[in-house]
Structures are given as structure tokens and as C-alpha cells.
Structure 1
Amino acid sequence: MNFESENAPEPVGAYPHAKKVGNLLFLSGVGPREKGTPNIPGVEFNTFGEIFSYDIELQCHSVFKNVKMILEDAGSSWDRIVDVTVFLTNMKNDFAKFNEIYAEYFKDNQPCRTTVEVNALPTPIAVELKVIATID
């Protein structure tokens, strides 16, 4: 069963926010975008529309907020996350800060995790999460 959250940012393609299969909830990739706007927390563009700078800390907090919204809207919760795949566009510069923030959010629940560096993500973001959680 597909699920669309009314509170999370709209998907940027033809996919649902989440899909329930048995007692598992699979979230599509979740980035830091804000619902209803093109805003991406912490991203600044130059006059050519290219990323001039970004704040990985602001993006991380926004991603975690978006994941939490989708989980709760679908009937699951943060403590039911069992697996996380992290996509970073700059592992060298952002991995340590990401790990620090991740540890704050996952101090009580430590799901399995894989982190990979990617060349780019579909929108001008620096981090995206793919999450699997349990659900009744």
C-alpha cells in the first residue's frame, strides 16, 4: 500500500513517500526540502543558480524532521527504524558532522546503516536518507 504524507515535502518524481509491505514501511529517499516551497535549508546559490554554499548541519536536521513526519503520518515512529541508507554528496567534508548529528537522533535506537557518497542528488541537496521501519 502506497502512502503520501500531507506534512512532508512533495516527492520530486513519480513515487510515494512510503510503501507498506507486511509489517515493514519503506520510505522513498527523503531530503531536506521544505514542503510547498523550493527552499532547501542552508543552501545559497550564486547569480548563475549554482550552489555557492550549503550548511550540512541545517540539512541534516531538516532531513530527520522530514523522515519523522513521514513515519508518524504513516503510523510508524522514529524508534521503529531498522535500516538507514545515507547518501552524501561530499563524504570528505560532511561525514564527521553528519555522524555527530546522526548520533544525537539515534542515541536510543541504533538501526543498521550504510553511508555512500554520490556525485549528485535530484535537487541541489547534500544529504538524503532511505529508511526502512516496522509498522503494525
Structure 2
Amino acid sequence: MNNESIKNSNEAPEPVGLYPHARKVGNILYLSGVGPREKGTKKIPGVELNQNGEIISYNIADQCHSVFKNIKLILEASGSSWDQLIDVTVFLTNMKDDFKIYNEIYAEYFKDNQPCRTTVEINCLPTPIAIELKCVATID
């Protein structure tokens, strides 16, 4: 694969490791895991941290809106779009408390396009976030 297949957004938050925002293979766009962080900062919408960087409180609704915004930015910068999403894997750190709110917000964003979806609970994510998405879309 060549570097032309690597896609990055200038508006989405920087990856937290050595990986691109997305990679194009044929007419498929694979997005790396995307969280709700804001670009150019360690700020996470809806998250309050203590002095040790541990989560004191968080608002899953704020994180959902932010992660969906980040996905949209990456899709558009890569030459795809929200309506071209075909598969979404969602990682939640607290299924019991957060699933209902996340599911309601998800339905708002995906009412016109309904990609396949898998939602799983995981123990933690590499930054103090409660949600991360892994997406696949088509690209022209």
C-alpha cells in the first residue's frame, strides 16, 4: 500500500499513537478508533478529571455528540461522508449506565443512514473517555 491511501483530517483530534485517521483500500474507507477528544488539546467534552488524571465525572451525551462530530470530520476530509458509513463498532466503558443515552443519541444521528452496528463494553480506553467508535465507510 502506498501513502496515498492514508487519510488524515486537519480538524479532527490527533491520533494518540502512530496510526492514521483512516486508510482507503479500493472503495472502502477504514477509520481508526475515534474518541470524543477535541483537536489540539487534551480536553474531553463532558469529562472532569482530578489532579492525577482520573475521571471524577463524565457526561456520556456530551461525549457522544463530540465523537460523532469527529467521525464526520474524518469522513469528509477523506472524501467520504456520513451517509456512506456501512459498519460501526462502538466501545463503551459503562454499558449499564450509558447505553440508553448513547442509543438515543445514536438514533438521532443515524435516522437516515443505518449502518450495521456492534456495541461492546470494555474495561477502559487509552485516554479517559467513555466511548470510542471504529467505522467503515464506502468512498468514491
TM-score calculated relative to the size of structure 1: 0.98
Cα-to-partner distance string for 1:61-98 (whole Å, 9 max, x where unaligned): 00000000000010100000000000000000000000
Q: Which residue of structure 2 lines up, in the alignment, with residue 26 of structure 1?
A: 30
Superposed, 1:99-114 pairs within 5 Å as 99-114=103-118
Q: Which residue of structure 2 lines up, in the alignment, with residue 64 of structure 1?
A: 68
Identity, in percent, stands at 74
Gaps of 5+ in 1: none
Does 1:130 pair with 2:140? no
Q: Which residue of structure 2 lines up, in the alignment, with residue 51 of structure 1?
A: 55
Where 1:116 maps in the other structure, the secondary structure is strand
Structure 2: distance between partners of 1:65 and 1:71:
10
CA shift for structure 1 position 48: 3.3
State how many pairs are aligned. Answer: 136
Q: Which residue of structure 2 lines up, in the alignment, with residue 75 of structure 1?
A: 79
CA shift for structure 1 position 46: 2.3
> Where does structure 1 differ by over 6 angstroms across 4 or more consecutive aligned residues?
none
CA shift for structure 1 position 45: 1.3
Structure 1: distance between partners of 2:127 and 2:56:
14
Q: Which residue of structure 1 lines up, in the alignment, with residue 15 of structure 2?
A: 11
Where 2:72 maps in the other structure, the secondary structure is helix
Superposed CA RMSD in Å reads 0.6
What letter matches 1:113 in structure 2?
Answer: R
